Amino acid sequence: MSILKVARMGHPVLRARAKTLEPADIKSPGIQQLIDDMFETMQEYQGVGLAAPQVHASVRIFVAGFAPKLDDEDEDEDEDEEERVPLMALINPEIAIVGDDTADDWEGCLSIPDIRGRVTRAREIKVKAYDRRGRRVEISARGFTARVIQHETDHLDGVLFFDRMQSFETLTFLDEFGKYWSRRDVPEE
């Protein structure tokens, strides 16, 4: 496995619509390798999600989830059930919004490092996709997991979280975020 270079805002690959994968191609060694490398890259940079265009591969794949932490003392007390994101690799995801409840919360992006901003997203979604073995899956998600899936799926359409902000007033550098806004860690994705 290898750690891949992450494309930063301004690279055209982040603005392109990524290509749909044929189900038969999902199990190919090249795609399996890409998925392994994306997990490793996401974990290296302590992200909670990573879409293939962010590693210069314009195909409709993203990985997400928190890696097991080795030295987080207050993991058990602090981590709300809704804040946990299960490990997943989804291919050709299609999101359906459930209800009209929205949530406004902080986001960060590995392609826009050290910046945070508030984004309004649907609180609950259903996702149809393929898993890495090429099987159809349907996932229901709410809260932070639903937010991450929406952020990653946006990457497959060339959309960045800045595009989703209703106002830029909350755009914040990470240092100032910690000083003035919140002590909570908001992982990049």
Please state, in angstroms and rounded to a whole number, the distance separating the CA atoms of residues 153 and 118. 18
Instruction: Based on the shown chain and the rule CB under 5 A, indicate whether residue 7 belongs to the binding site for Zn ion.
Output: no
Min separation Cβ 57 and Zn ion, Å: 14
Location of structure tokens 């809704």 = 82
Nearer to Zn ion, 21 or 50 (CB): 50
Backbone angles phi, psi at 125, to 5 degrees: -140, 165
State which residue has the least CB distance to Zn ion: 109
Contacts of 183 (CB under 8 A, 6+ apart): none
Q: Which stretch binds Zn ion (CB under 5 A): 39-47, 89-97, 104-112, 122-130?
A: 104-112
Nearer to Zn ion, 37 or 189 (CB): 189
User: Strand, coil or helix: what is 71?
Assistant: coil
Min separation Cβ 173 and Zn ion, Å: 17
Of the candidates 108, 96, 106, 91, the residue with the CA atom closest to the CA atom of residue 51: 91
Q: Which residue in the set 21, 52, 109, 115 belongs to the binding site for Zn ion (CB under 5 A)?
A: 109
| Two structure tokens written together for 13 | 């690959």
* Residue 119 β-bridge partners: 105
- Annotation says 169 is catalytic: no
81, 138, 152, 176: the active-site residue: 152
Residues annotated as catalytic (active site), given as ranges? 152
Applying CB under 5 A, the residues found at the interface with Zn ion are: 109, 189
